[in-house]
Amino acid sequence: MQHLVDVNCLSRDDIFKIMADARAFKKQMPPKLLDNKLLITLFFEPSTRTRSSFEVAAKRLGASVVHLDPTRSSTKKGESLEDTFANLCAMAPDGVILRHSQNDTARVLADMELTPIINAGTGNLAHPTQALLDLFTILEHFDGNIEAKRLTIVGDIANSRVASSGIRLFTKMGLNVSLVAPKPFMPETELKNFEDLDNVLDNTDILMSLRAQLERHAKPIFDDYSEYAKHYCVTKDRVEGRDFIVMHPGPVMRNIDISDEVLASSKSLVLEQVKNGVFVRMAVLKHLLLDNG
């Protein structure tokens, strides 16, 4: 049984195969490859993009999807996560797509070996399908030539599962990753890291902005995010005359992470990332449920 707990569950061959399948699906919708499959989505944290993207991906491939809303489930009556999961698995789904606030939840449920676990974001540790769709978007933009391309990640990197999975995947695939953040948002890292965004913009091919993960801050880190934005917002002034593309996993804090003007410009691939997410998740579902099922 293969799970997708994090990007390190995938070999380079797996990653290239997922990218190739996603590219083929974007060119032409495939037949209903997962016609007789049933997936359950179990999201203990809010989501706009990931949950709907997985549902669209599954349905495009002909699978059925059942959503369990934990706020209206028996976890509210004290049932443990493991018992909730075991009860869902007794209904014989072909996989469970999980989002949870704790870092180890996907691993714990995967180790029960009841059904494939597909991690849709856990804690500040892992968001493998976001990393894969970001990689796909970068590969597509640079026509596959990404070796040594300079990716700068700016924002609340320390609390971001997108950054955590992304850094593991991007460095494995040959990107040259640098981090930019104020000290409270900078993780322990061996990567090149900077506090001043303006000093790295001339050495950047891809600028990936991340929001402040306010829900994961034990207490407020900055009182005034408009002050933070003066230093870290991707504005027209910072973009003009430069050649990099701008990415963000969403949700975007407008005019704090990226300005309205830049979001509306051709530099921004933010909605292309969302579009690509469906094809990449279709490829991930095929990989887990069909190729390795």
Q: How far is the CB of 249 from ligand CP (least distance, A)?
A: 4
Give residues with Cβ within 8 angstroms of 291, minimum separation 6.
17
Q: Which is nearer to ligand CP, 47 or 189 (CB)?
A: 47
Q: How far is the CB of 43 from ligand CP (least distance, A)?
A: 8
92 touches 112 (CB < 8 A): no
Question: Would you tell me which residues interact with ligand CP (CB under 6 A)?
Answer: 47-50, 121, 130, 249-251
- Quote the CA–CA distance of 146 and 172 in Å, as a whole number: 12
The residue to which tokens 């699906």 are assigned: 25
Q: Which is nearer to ligand CP, 46 or 241 (CB)?
A: 46
18 touches 283 (CB < 8 A): yes
**Cα atoms in the Cβ-side hemisphere of radius 13 Å centred on 194:** 17
Q: Which is nearer to ligand CP, 50 or 105 (CB)?
A: 50
Q: Are strands 176-180 and 150-154 parallel, antiparallel or unpaired?
A: parallel
167 touches 191 (CB < 8 A): yes
Q: Which is nearer to ligand CP, 174 or 251 (CB)?
A: 251
Q: Which is nearer to ligand CP, 41 or 84 (CB)?
A: 41
The residue to which tokens 């469970």 are assigned: 96
Q: How far is the CB of 127 from ligand CP (least distance, A)?
A: 6
Q: Output the six-digit token pair for 7.
A: 């990007």
Q: How far is the CB of 49 from ligand CP (least distance, A)?
A: 4
Q: How far is the CB of 139 from ligand CP (least distance, A)?
A: 18
